[in-house]
Amino acid sequence: QKEVEQDPGPLSVPEGAIVSLNCTYSNSAFQYFMWYRQYSRKGPELLMYTYSSGNKEDGRFTAQVDKSSKYISLFIRDSQPSDSATYLCAMKGAGNNRKLIWGLGTSLAVNP
Amino acid sequence: DGGITQSPKYLFRKEGQNVTLSCEQNLNHDAMYWYRQDPGQGLRLIYYSQIVNDFQKGDIAEGYSVSREKKESFPLTVTSAQKNPTAFYLCASRPPTGGRADTQYFGPGTRLTVL
């Protein structure tokens, strides 16, 4: 079993839909959770960063962490065609030298 | 204008040749990373360096080598020993301790194709 599981999709939604992207993990030591967005043939860019449990909102994006269920989510409201990309979750435990553990990424297409 | 640059953007290699991918950052970050990305396999860590003149193997280091002689530079050499080198290669760096010290910032990537 992988430490981080992420459905690769592809996920296709109409413009304006609410998108829910998810990752599950097995290591209860993970404390730092990130979502990256990667456009085709580009490097990933950090979208959301969350420490421990709870919600974090930034514009149309909301990140949720449920440590009791070992489950993290990224919600995109009012999705736009420009949101079409691959979304990768990443996480790590405490300690500055610990490596990031990555999900496989979910491919999202928002159709006009 | 701070950031991470990778060159070249596209690279073609004949079988049996070594090639070196460049990664430079002017963010004053100590830690730097090399990943390989293949369709359906996500990001896999090749090598990382926490500080100048020091580096460690990642999960798939066989057939690769690195050096870290300067803080700004972390070149990756893909050797002829790498059995399947065709992939998208990503370089990243991480801020020092404090704030978002866990996040990594990526360059634009180099697409290597073996002919």
Q: Tokens at residue B98, please?
A: 């404090």
Contacts of B109 in chain A (CB under 8 A): 41-43
Mutate to test the interface with A, among B25, B34, B102, B112 (most CBs of A within 10 A): B102
Confidence of residue B111 (pLDDT cuts 50, 70, 90): very high
Cα A81 to Cα A84: distance, rounded to the nearest angstrom: 6
Mutate to test the interface with A, among B43, B46, B57 (most CBs of A within 10 A): B43
Tens digits of residue pLDDT in B48-89: 999 999 999 999 999 999 999 999 999 999 998 888 999 999
Tens digits of residue pLDDT in A33-71: 999 999 999 999 999 999 888 899 999 999 999 999 999
Cα A86 to Cα A106: distance, rounded to the nearest angstrom: 5
Question: By three-state DSSP, how is residue A20 classified?
Answer: strand
Cα A33 to Cα A3: distance, rounded to the nearest angstrom: 13
Contacts of A45 in chain B (CB under 8 A): 106
Q: Which of B40, B45, B107 is nearest residue A43 as measured by Cβ atoms?
A: B107
Of B112, B61, B71, B75, which Cα lies nearest the Cα of B94?
A: B71
